[in-house]
A and B are shown apart, each in its own frame.
Chain A
């Protein structure tokens, strides 16, 4: 059974709100950089950067991180992840890094992404922005900015679809029953 929990407008509004929150918390866009986690975190990161530019008039650098080489769950994952490129063509040292992903679940991907980021330098801080927080953390990680909290059970999965990859903006909860 699939339940749609967000439509395109809701996705857009959530990202807009996160943009405002980021700017408010950081008192503007100064020293901000955004890094999206592959695959869908990247598109949300791009949209977030665009919103911030809209609001603040300042373009901030956007990078991409691929966490495949940092994962701790490769052994248990059913199929291999293809290693994609990490592209952070700017220094993150002393910057405030907004790390962006689509869904926050166990926290393991975020752990991997943080490990990856640290290899690129010593940021002033790392803040986490996610479109969906579905709970069930296995590591002491929390998001600073959340588009929507969706309570789920373990046997459900959350599917985020974005125009850039899937042709449509939509979030659904898929349950196995």
Chain B
């Protein structure tokens, strides 16, 4: 069994091997126990500095990385777009160079441009963790989804997963598709045809526009957030119609398997892509995802910056 990740960075799940995914999930399992202690802190990353560089607002992911770093005793510094020099027009290269000069041990980056994390990883010597770049990848979200699924279903291989919503603009979808394919899972994507990107089948998924059909036989349903700007861009006619055709509710869920689990990367539009009773219902693992997110990010931070 391998004991470390081959790359200096975690930029996406596309580049991870199945063994690496398992290493992260197994390490996260050990990390999860720490969060259940009274004293939720271990000294593993004492003296290490982790910079959270967030060019997009994100409470959940940023907080999750911050807690993960702190539970490992790292010093975590948050830089967010409103307070940084980005507003003054500094380039990403200059920002990266300036951060480099402060000798961080890891940089966690969230950016609206696809490829921004790869770009900055080429400049920085320290590990870079992609916390979401444009519509490209969001690897820790996919890893925490896998962790949550495995916790519930024990075995990943052979599971049928349906990802429903705005696939075109979703980094969560892409990271999940890559990771799930590697773990031998069977992925279907569903949503309005205007939000299914071209040639997505070639990545290794089935496309089923009809949500009811996409739900049938699924072990796992992942609902994606629909952003209201998409309506303004003419990608769907109205929230009402979106919700009726593609939103998950108790009625549609009747077609699902009895032991189906439902996940959502958040933040949710209650009553739009997911009805409140489903979000809070017995099949929902949405809060488990949040809990597990900390463990997975602890695992990733430790694997990339601990030792060696």
B98 to chain A, nearest CB (A): 27
Interface size class of B (residues with CB under 8 A): 20 to 34
Contacts of A115 in B (CB 8 A): 43
A114 to chain B, nearest CB (A): 12
Q: State the CA gap A70–B42 with chains docked (Å).
A: 7
* Interfacial residues of chain B within 19-54, with CB under 8 A of chain A in the complex: 23, 26-27, 29-31, 33-34, 37-39, 41-44
A71 to chain B, nearest CB (A): 8
B70 to chain A, nearest CB (A): 14
> Known: A69-B43, A69-B44. Contact between A119 and B3, CB under 8 A?
no
> Known: A69-B302, A74-B308, A86-B30. Contact between A81 and B38, CB under 8 A?
no
- Label chain A's interface by main secondary structure: loop
Of B26, B37, B72, the contact of A82 (CB 8 Å cutoff) = B26
Of A83, A85, A119, the contact of B41 (CB 8 Å cutoff) = A119
Of A74, A119, A120, the contact of B306 (CB 8 Å cutoff) = A74
- Count contacts between A and B, CB distance < 8 Å: 56
Contacts of B279 in A (CB 8 A): none
Shortest Cβ distance from A81 into B: residue: B3
Contact present for B37 and A87 (CB under 8 Å):
no
Contact present for A83 and B33 (CB under 8 Å):
no
Contact present for A83 and B43 (CB under 8 Å):
no
Contact present for B30 and A66 (CB under 8 Å):
yes
Contact string against B for A residues 13-49, beta-carbon threshold 8 Å, 1 for contact and 0 otherwise: 0000000000000000000000000000000000000
Of A75, A87, A119, the contact of B307 (CB 8 Å cutoff) = A75
A92 to chain B, nearest CB (A): 11
Q: State the CA gap A66–B26 with chains docked (Å).
A: 14
Contact string against B for A residues 94-117, beta-carbon threshold 8 Å, 1 for contact and 0 otherwise: 000000000000000000000110
A136 to chain B, nearest CB (A): 23
Of B1, B23, B33, B41, the contact of A87 (CB 8 Å cutoff) = B33
> Known: A70-B42, A121-B38. Contact between A82 and B307, CB under 8 A?
no
**B299 on the A face (CB < 8 A):** yes
Of A81, A83, A84, A121, the contact of B299 (CB 8 Å cutoff) = A83
Q: State the CA gap A7–B120 with chains docked (Å).
A: 57
Contact present for B33 and A69 (CB under 8 Å):
no
**A77 on the B face (CB < 8 A):** yes
**A79 on the B face (CB < 8 A):** yes
**B254 on the A face (CB < 8 A):** no
Of A81, A83, A121, the contact of B31 (CB 8 Å cutoff) = A83
Of A75, A80, A87, A120, the contact of B3 (CB 8 Å cutoff) = A80
**Known contacts A80-B303, A85-B29, then 17 further A-B pairs from the complex at CB < 8 Å, ordered by chain A residue:** A69-B34, A69-B43, A69-B44, A69-B302, A70-B44, A74-B306, A75-B307, A77-B307, A81-B307, A82-B1, A82-B23, A83-B31, A83-B299, A84-B30, A86-B30, A120-B38, A121-B38
Interface residues of B (CB under 8 A from A): 1, 3-4, 23, 26-27, 29-31, 33-34, 37-39, 41-44, 72, 299, 302-303, 306-308
